[in-house]
Structure 1
Amino acid sequence: MNGRRAKGEKVPKTTLLVAGQNLLTQWAKEIGVHTDGSLTIMRYSSGNRIDSNRCMEILGNHDVILTTYSEIMRSYPKNDPPITCQSPEEKEEWWKTQYETQRGVLHQMLFQRVVLDEAQSIKNHTSRTSIACRALMAEHKWALSGTPILNNVAELYPYFKFLNVPHTGSFRIFKKNYCDPSDRDNTDRLLARLSQFMLRRTHSDEMFGAPILKLPRADQATHWCDFNSIERNIYDIVQARFAKNVNTLAKNQGLEKGYSNVLVMLLRLRQLTAHVLMLQYVMKDLLEREDIEKIREVVREAAAKSNPGSKYTIIAIRKQLDHLAAEEKKKAANQAAQGQNETLAEHNIIIEDEAEEEPEEEPEEEPEDEDGFTPSQFSSANQKTRQMQSGKNFGKKFDFKPYINSLTVGDSWEKAKKAATCGSCGKEPNIPHITSCKHLYCQTCVEELVMRGAEAGSLNGTCEQCDQVFHYSHPCDADGGEVDGYSAPETRSSMRNRKEKERFRPEREDIKEDWLSLGAGGTVLPSAKTIAIKAQVLNWTTENPKVKIIIYTQFLPMIRILAKAFQEEGWQSEQYHGKQSFPARDKAIANFADNPQVRVLLATLRCGGLGLNLAMASRVIIIDPWWNNASEQQAFCRVFRIGQTEPTFMTRFCVKDTVDQRLMDMQKRKKAEIDAVMDDNGKSTAKLSIKELVRLFGNLDEEGGGQNNFIVVDNPDPRGSFRADRDDEGYAADI
């Protein structure tokens, strides 16, 4: 029953368990807790490798070997045939020799069992990690994942290959058999096949009439934030500039060749929805003089009217969040009362638009308060919101002037000034002026436009760029000047020159301290999302002073910004991200769990959203929508898991009319495709007749045509020696 070999039986006894480096310690701890201590365990990874001519024998004497995906990839030889191998046959013969002579010990051994934890790490079937894991030899194989499909059903292919599912064949054959939209039987065929080797458990599953797992309730909601006028203008300007660049790429080299550039531009827009300060280098490199002057004009207009941060009244946002959470819990309670039995993802309805979900109120009968809410919305239990506090100073003032001034120093600004042209004469502006419609002109040119307007009987001139009547103009550099104590940050191009050997990863850029502290008194500039985050943290800590909160973001600069904001508020926090060493990460988790003064863990989704047991927390915030909903749910399940004793809640923050909205739409489309496979909507493959199964997997075609028949391919025996097909080896295009 336990799968261990009998005494004297000559079969492998070793289990190889593959997980992320940060999860090996937890696996070792869990094995110790749930076994009698008789198992011999070895950790085989960087810093713990064996240098011996009897390495296989030493490893084979252990019951469990814990290793990492990086170590599996390291054990697998590189397929880089020399230039002398020209024909497909020569390349294949070279690879056979290379593999047999150069494979590491993990690919030489035949294990009793191989277990992949967080198996979605192999979902890209062309990656070296995926290929290396599929090359492991074992009597039995397990793939463990809470999110086996992240984007589309074709991601099941590596699991089929790893688990040696019969008749899988190449990727092309797999897509034809299971993913071809023209075949009406594809979904049924895939469900039937999955039922043979996939064991799926959800929070709603029962055994003997009782839930397998009892956990406190879990809810989640999406709060849509609004940019202030300055944030909105910066976003629109950057988006327009990116659109222009994409069009240029499409004309010059085609979008396929410029794919990585387009991806980076999209990443920049995602960063901008979180906080404008993350685009320090982009604004230096990308924005032109006219863009800077437009932003300066918006800052001036906003300062003249009122503080643009005033609309982000923290108390008002706290009320909105409280109301959103109450509505979400009410819906979940109604569903439970109606006997609906749903999974976590289905149970938690995302509020896409608060205005659509809230009933309309009659102003005559329900007068709104200064924050736009009616008394009935905050009566009884919610009456306490009227005595809410707004915390300390963070988020109460939005002064972008020091930042816009900082953009007008250094080499980038000088280049931008030289590149700028007058909207009338087309030359570099002489004594540049900007009009109320945000376009640049020479002083003499703008005066000439005003004179033309006067001759036509108008008090104002007409802009030649947009054909709008401008009501005023003023010199561009009226508010310019150096920023005291500020040195212009180096541009991204200079960064690359300085670190040309270091691979550039936009999501790992950092923010210079002087840019981060340009605000009055060294405070950090707020944003729509950071103000909403503050409001949510205030709500949760007011409700439960001992609550612990995890905040997930995609970007390291956002962690820096929030850490400084929380410091201003007097909140202690810990950080968990990829730039920390593994001991530092373990220390951060331990302090977050044990120190009652540490309320918040700031983590990147990539590092902190997988595998960890963070049940000491009960609240989660997602700042940046990811490409798929599954990764976000995976992050939420760090707290909604075995050991959780408190009700859990996740709030996702998005900004209206931005790339966030498009990402949420993409999540919906992907989720619908995945649900069609992972949830059969009540259909049971066990009820299919023999004839129906034969039709799905045989070559029966009673209706004629015969074009959508199942392609039968025999898999090679993976034990004893690995014989990869050409798709695996990465040179299929050359053969």
Structure 2
Amino acid sequence: MASSSRRVGGEDDDEPYLLGFIVAKAVGLRHYDGGRTITSRENVGLVREPLNRYDRNAIRVDNSRGVKAGHIDAPTAAVLAPLLDGHHLAAVHGIVPKPTSKNPFRLPCQVHLFTRPAAAALVGAALAAAGLDLIHVDHPEFALSESAIVQEQTKKSQGDVDKLFSHVGKEGKARVEPMEAPGDVVVSELFEHQKEALGWLVHREESCDLPPFWEEDKDGGFKNVLTTQKTNERPLPLKGGIFADDMGLGKTLTLLSLIGRSKARNVGGKKARGAKRRKIEGAEESRTTLVVCPPSVFSSWVTQLEEHTKAGSFKMYLYHGERTREKKELLKHDIVITTYSTLGQEFEQEGSPVMDIEWFRVILDEAHVIKNSAARQTKAVIALNAERRWVVTGTPIQNSSLDLYPLMAFLRFQPFSIKSYWQSLIQCPLERKNNETGLARLQSLLGAISLRRTKETESGSTSLVSIPPKTVFACYIELSAEEREYYDQMELEGKKKLQEFGDRDSILRNYSTVLYFILRLRQLCNDIALCPLDMKSWLPGSSLEDVSKNPELLKKLASLVDDGDDFECPICLSPPAKTVITSCRHIYCQTCIMKILKSSSSRCPICRHSLCKEDLFIAPEIKHPDEDLSANIDRPLSSKVQALLKQLRRSQNEDPLSKSVVFSQFRKMLILLEGPLKAAGFNILRLDGSMTAKKRSEVIQQFGHVGPGAPTVLLASLKAAGAGVNLTAASTVYLFDPWWNPGVEEQAMDRVHRIGQTKEVKVVRLIVKDSIEDRMLELQEKKRKLITGAFGKKKGGKEYKEIRVEELQMMMGMKMKSV
């Protein structure tokens, strides 16, 4: 049955493809607001609810606006739920066809099933055993499917879909006029590019245009030409979008101008037809803007407010730490600022004012933080109630185009706010061997809802703003004979381990061991002192070893998180909070893995090993007081440290007053650098993630001082100084070690190269020749091309994917192969 199915996922044998569809029933629609408004041919989201107290197999039905509408009937859910939980089904997508039932609260639902080839037979057998008819792609009734996903199966229809994308956003796209900041609130003169951005933001908020892909029918109704959904009510305008200007172009001041413009009660003229105005407990309409950002960006908003607006013109409230629980109190302010983690804590918490309020506007600053749609904080921001929604980030794509899906879900941009639509119409075409279709669609989509300008023009010869240019170059370093011997021996051991593991599943089961090798190789490029000299002590033991019987192994695994800034929980893609290590040696946030345990699957997401609470271990605290490194003072300097000192001396000779920032992701490396730099006569400061927000602010302020005795070098963690920090006092940046993610490095550079910089900026990347660092640059370049291609002109078709097993092999210096 599955063997004759035509695949959506392209030529890759591991890609999910459309197996077919079954006809289920959407029931209980009378009990939910979303169920009362489902229309003919409406695309619906299908979401597992393993914690549903009435039915552990429950599959929720959400309408096309993401509002709960009902559930899939219990008999069908009982068959599908184990297939979803066991990852045999990669995705499910629902559409309510033209109703044949007279009961408006019990409607047929075509459930389209996506699976990987290896699981197709199992899925087919499970459906057959339950008596469910699978309408596979060669079945005569397959043409009855009303899903746009199915329309993609034929080349003719695919051409039609591509044509729809090519026209999106072009109709009536007149040039938006630049706009001055409101003079009664903002005292600073905007740059021309900021005036243009303000005009675009206001136009997006106040336009009455139909959302992309919607048209008015001849009979007065409305139709989505992409999904074929019809409705008699005019769809609400998409009030918002993605403000993706390059870092350092003054987005915060532009946004303050936007907020200032809407302070007056009747700003914006007549409301859009069909738009809802709301009253807050009988009071006048709220015009409060909620800003969500990382804690490090708090100071940026406060500073910009103090520098660029009239004193007292804005009332601001920091909803963080000790905070009010009164909605009325929050709504007295023009701006309420909170963090992603605060929203995550209050998600689904009864009585949370920030989650209950219907905000006038929500701004997600540094919005790439929500790149994982499964993370609690991502779900929280998507659930926020707001009339106007803005995504603000200079790096909207960090790893892959999948980073954009949560942004679409937050913006409520239909149908791309439904994951199966995003995967079928954007993600799968991008991941095919020839991805020109996917890239063209992504460009059209982003062009319709986003604004992105970079500091340099396309030619690179001129600058968008009057900032001196930035030059980036690599300084390649040869390891000493002793360093090379250590490095080559470690890399050889790593390759042997990977060859022992063999196939994909085995590598994933031993994922932490591979990461351990990669971490040590990266540290060896910096300084042997970062690693134990006894090579055997570096290596985790047997691949079958259970951490519950080996405290030392627990410490080794905990060091993966502690040693570097860029380790992320595989579930939420954020640095682990309360790190937990499983008996099968995988590392997660405590919150993330506990949620998995509460689901019916109770398996490790990486290796599928069965887990219970007794299999989880809190990572031991790794103590590393600064004085522990005193023994390294008299040892020879590493090749990379010597190269850095040579570069710093050259900069100082050229300009004795020049300041430099040295970025590293290894806190221990920053501490190791202090001794040699002080001995060489540099006045240094250190900024890392172990410091309090107050201490960080003091360090940044000290670094800005000029004159005799002032600091000349700042040793900074990328994570501590990568966002919301202004370091324009410096003019040279040294990236001591490369990151997986080019976007994070760009953020670090642009702490220095931004509005307010008066000198030319030089960025030096210190790269060890013939090492893992060379290979990391290759991986970065792949990701950078995707980012450029998504917002730029159409370029060649290469395959762009997230870090997968093949890329782990690449990092270890092995030829990439299909596994």
Give the 3 Å change call, closer, same or farther, for CA 498–233 of structure 1 in structure 2: closer
Find the aligned partners of 1:28 and 1:569 in 2 and give their Cα distance.
Answer: 37
The within-5 A match list for 1:681-696 is: none
Q: Secondary structure at the match of 2:733?
A: strand
Q: Which amino acid counterpart does residue 782 of structure 2 have in structure 1?
A: R
Task: Output one character per residue of 1:309-368: Cα deviation in whole Å (capped at 9) or x when no partner.
Answer: xxxxxxxxxxxxxxxxxxxxxxxxxxxxxxxxxxxxxxxxxxxxxxxxxxxxxxxxxxxx
User: Per the alignment, do residues 164 and 251 of structure 1 end up closer, same or farther by CA in structure 2, a change over 3 Å counting?
Assistant: closer
State the shift of 1:162 in Å: 1.1
Distance across 1 between alignment mates of 2:650 and 2:712: 13
Q: Which residue of 1 aligns with 2:30?
A: none
Return the alpha-carbon distance in structure 2 between the equivalents of residues 643 and 591 of structure 1: 17
After superposition, the Cα gap between the structure-2 partners of 1:205 and 1:140, relative to the gap in structure 1 and judged at 3 Å, is: farther
For residues 26-45 of structure 1, the C-alpha deviation after alignment (integer angstroms, 9 at most, x for no partner) is: 21121222222321111111
Q: Which amino acid aligns with 2:304?
A: E
> Of 784, 787, 803, which aligns to 1:671?
784
| Cα separation, partners in 2 of 1:601 and 1:493, compared to 1, 3 Å | farther
- The answer to whether the Cα contact below 8 Å between 2:531 and 2:538 also exists between their aligned partners in 1 is no
1:266 aligns with 518
The match for 2:813 is: none
Deviation string, structure 1 residues 592-622 (Cα, Å, up to 9, x no partner):
1115421111111122122211111110000
User: Which residue does the alignment assign to 2:586?
Assistant: none
Instruction: Give the structure 2 partner of residue 214 of structure 1.
Output: 466
Q: Partners of 1:67 and 1:514 in 2: how far apart?
A: 37
Shift of 1:218: 1.3
CA distance in 1, matches of 2:417, 2:265: 35
Letter in 1 for 2:745: E
Per the alignment, residue 339 of structure 2 pairs with: 68
Equivalent in the alignment of 2:303: 29
Counterpart-to-counterpart distance in 2, 1:211 and 1:598: 30
In the alignment, the residues of structure 2 paired with residue 531 and residue 510 of structure 1 have an alpha-carbon distance, to the nearest angstrom, of 28
Worse-superposed segment, 66-75 or 125-134: 125-134
**SS of corresponding position for 1:203:** coil
Opposite residue 315 of structure 2, the aligned amino acid is T
Partner of 2:506: 254
Name the structure 2 match of 1:150: 398
Match of 1:126 in 2: 374
The answer to whether the 8 A contact 2:703-2:712 is kept is yes
CA distance in 2, matches of 1:161, 1:502: 35
| Structure-1 residue corresponding to 2:328 | 57
From 159, 171, 174, the equivalent of 2:419 is 171
1:153 Cα shift?
1.5
More strand, by proportion? 2
The equivalences for 1:340-489 within 5 A come to none
Structure 1 pair 138–282 and aligned structure 2 pair: CA distance change class (3 A): farther
Match of 1:575 among 662, 672, 686: 686
Q: Where does residue 198 of structure 1 map in the other structure?
A: 450
Instruction: Tell me which residue corresponds to 2:294.
Output: 20
1:350 paired residue number:
none
Paired residues of 1:75 and 1:105 also in contact (CA < 8 A): no
Question: Alignment partner for residue 486 of structure 2, among 227, 234, 250?
Answer: 234
Q: Confirm or deny that 1:506 pairs with 2:578.
A: no
1:680 aligns with 2:793: yes
In the alignment, the residues of structure 1 paired with residue 651 and residue 623 of structure 2 have an alpha-carbon distance, to the nearest angstrom, of 29
Aligned partner letter, 2:471: D
TM superposition score normalised by structure 2: 0.51
How has the CA–CA distance of structure 1 residues 671 and 70 changed in structure 2, closer, same or farther, with 3 Å as cutoff?
A: same
**Is the 8 Å Cα contact of residues 409 and 416 (structure 2) preserved in structure 1?**
yes
Q: 1:615, 1:643 within 8 Å by CA — same for their partners in 2?
A: yes
Answer yes or no: is the 8 Å Cα contact 1:76–1:107 preserved in 2.
Answer: yes
Contact residue 122 and residue 158 of structure 1 kept, 8 A: yes
Secondary structure at 1:598 match in 2: coil
- In percent, how many aligned pairs have the same letter? 28
User: Post-superposition shift, 1:252?
Assistant: 12
Tell me which of 41, 61, 81 is aligned to 2:316.
Answer: 41
Residues 512 and 11 (structure 1), Cα distance of their counterparts in 2 relative to 1, 3 Å cut: closer
- The 5-angstrom pairing of residues 614-625 of structure 1 reads 614-625=727-738
Does 2:538 align with 1:286? yes
Aligned partners of 1:524 and 1:565 also within 8 Å: no
Q: In the aligned structure 1, how far is the partner of 2:650 from the partner of 2:747?
A: 24
- Structure 1 residue aligned with 2:408, among 132, 154, 160? 160
SS at match of 1:505: helix
Matched, 1:113 2:113: no
Which AA in structure 2 matches 1:201? R
How many residues are aligned here? Answer: 450
Offset at residue 5 of structure 1 (A): 4.9
3-state secondary structure, aligned to 1:575: strand
- Aligned pair partner of 1:189 in 441, 444, 447: 441
The aligned runs of 1:510-589 (5 Å cut-off) are 516-518=629-631, 522-589=633-700
Distance 1:15 1:251, change over 3 A: closer
> Secondary structure at 1:38's aligned position in 2?
coil
Separation in structure 2 between the aligned mates of residue 501 and residue 532 of structure 1, nearest angstrom: 31
Question: Given that residues 226 and 656 in structure 1 are in contact (C-alpha distance below 8 angstroms), is that contact kept between their aligned partners in structure 2?
Answer: yes
1:4 aligns with 2:275: no
Counterpart position of 1:141: 389
- CA distance in 2: counterparts of 1:287 and 1:500, whole angstroms: 10
Distance 1:5 1:499 in 2: 58
- State the TM-score, normalizing by the size of structure 1: 0.57
- Provide Cα deviations, 1:119-159, integer angstroms capped at 9, x if missing partner: 11111222222222212111111111111111221211111
Quote the RMSD (CA, aligned, Å).
Answer: 3.1
Larger Rg: 1
Q: What SS class does the counterpart of residue 102 from structure 1 fall into?
A: coil
Does the aligned pair in 1 maintain the 2:468–2:761 contact within 8 Å?
yes
Equivalent residue, structure 2, for 1:653:
766
Q: Distance in 2 between matches of 1:157 and 1:42?
A: 30
Correspondences of 1:709-720 after superposition (within 5 Å)? none
Q: Distance in 2 between matches of 1:643 and 1:515?
A: 39
Residues 238 and 287, structure 1, Cα contact 8 Å, conserved in 2: no
Cα contact 1:264–1:506 (8 A) shared by 2? no
Q: CA deviation at 1:242?
A: 2.4
Q: Which residue does 1:180 correspond to in 2?
A: 428
CA 1:204–1:44: 2 relative to 1, 3 Å: same
- How far, CA to CA, are the matches of 2:378 and 2:300 in structure 1? 23
CA drift at 1:282:
7.0
8 Å Cα contact 2:563-2:668 kept in structure 1: no
* Alpha carbons of structure 1 residues 501 and 626: separation in structure 2 relative to 1, 3 Å: closer
Query: Offset of 1:75 from its aligned partner?
Result: 1.3
Structure 2, unmatched stretches of 5+, are 1-201, 203-260, 267-278, 542-548, 566-621, 797-819
**Alignment partners' CA distance in 1, 2:456 and 2:561:** 44
Deviation at 1:166, TM superposition (A): 2.4
Q: Contact between 1:43 and 1:65, CA under 8 Å: does it hold in 2? A: yes
Give 1 or 2: higher helix fraction: 1
Tell me if structure 2 keeps the 8 A contact 1:510–1:556.
no
SS where residue 509 of structure 2 aligns? coil
- CA 1:226–1:676 in 2, change beyond 3 Å: closer, same or farther? same
**8 A contact 1:524–1:564 mirrored in 2:** no
- Name the stretch that deviates more: 109-118 or 163-172: 163-172
Q: Note the alpha carbon deviations across 1:205-260, whole angstroms, 9 max, x for none.
A: 59xxx965111121110011000000000011112222333344448971112223
Distance 1:279 1:188, change over 3 A: same
Q: Distance between the aligned counterparts of 1:230 and 1:44, measured in 2?
A: 53
When structure 1 is superposed on structure 2, of 142-151 and 222-231 the one drifting more is 142-151
Q: More deviation in 8-17 or 166-175?
A: 8-17
Give the conservation status (yes or no) of the 8 Å contact 2:262–2:287: no
Aligned counterparts of 1:25 and 1:38: Cα–Cα separation in 2: 18
